[in-house]
Amino acid sequence: MALIIAAALVMGLAGLIVLLWAIGSGQYDDLEGAAARILLDDTAGDPSAPDKV
């Protein structure tokens, strides 16, 4: 049982750390934009693959 509790804590902490990293890296800075971007075609919203004409 101790193992299960420890595993739960570790998994939870891992999730927390990932989320904190995501916030820190600015992924939550533009929620409206994120909501809109999902509607766009694949390459349009991706800065690493700009749609060059």
Partner 1 sequence: MNLAATSVDLSRFLSRRPDGTVTFDALVKGAHCAGCLAKIEKGVGALPGVASARLNLSTGKLAIVGSAGLKPDFVLQRLHDLGYEGVPFEAGASLDEDAREGRFLLHCLVVAAFGTVFTMGLTDAIWYGGDMDATLRGLFFWLAATVSVPATLYSGQPFFLSAWKVLKRHRTNMDVPISLALILSLGLSLWQTAQGTGHVYFDAAVMLSFLLLTGRYLDFLLRNRARGAARHLLAMQSVLVRRQAGSELETVAAADLNPGNHILLTSGERTPVDGVLDDHGTELDLSLVTGESVPVLRTAGAAVSAGSIVTGAPVLLRVTARVENSLVADLARLLEAGRQGKSLYVSLADRAARAYVPFVAVTALAVLAGWLWAGAGFAHALTNAVTVLIVTCPCALGLAVPAVQIAATGRLFRDGIFVKSGDALERLAEIDHAVFDKTGTLTLGKLVLENKGQIAPAILEQAAGLARASSHPLARALVAAAGEGPVSSGVMETAGSGLEAPGRQGAQRLGNAAWCGVTDDENGASLWFRDGSADPVRFIFRDQIRPESRQMVADLHRRGIVVEMLTGDRSIPAGRIAAEAGIPLWCAAVGPKEKADRLRTLAMRGQRVLMVGDGINDAGALALAHVSIAPGTATDISQRAADMVLRGSTLSPLVEAFDVARKARRLVIQNFILAGLYNAAAIPLAALGLVTPLVAAAAMASSSLLVTLNALRLAPWRAP
Of 3 and 33, CB closest to partner 1:
33
Cα–Cα distance measured from residue 23 to residue 8, given in angstroms and rounded to the nearest whole number: 23
Q: What are the residues binding partner 1 (CB under 8 A)?
A: 5, 8-9, 12, 15-16, 19-20, 23-24, 26, 28-33, 36-37, 39-41, 44-45, 47-48, 50-53
Of 3 and 52, CB closest to partner 1:
52
Q: What are phi and psi of 44, to 5 degrees?
A: -60, -40
Residue 10 tokens read as 């570790």
Minimum Å gap between C-beta 22 and partner 1 is 9
Give the CB-side neighbour count of residue 21, counting CA atoms within 13 A: 6
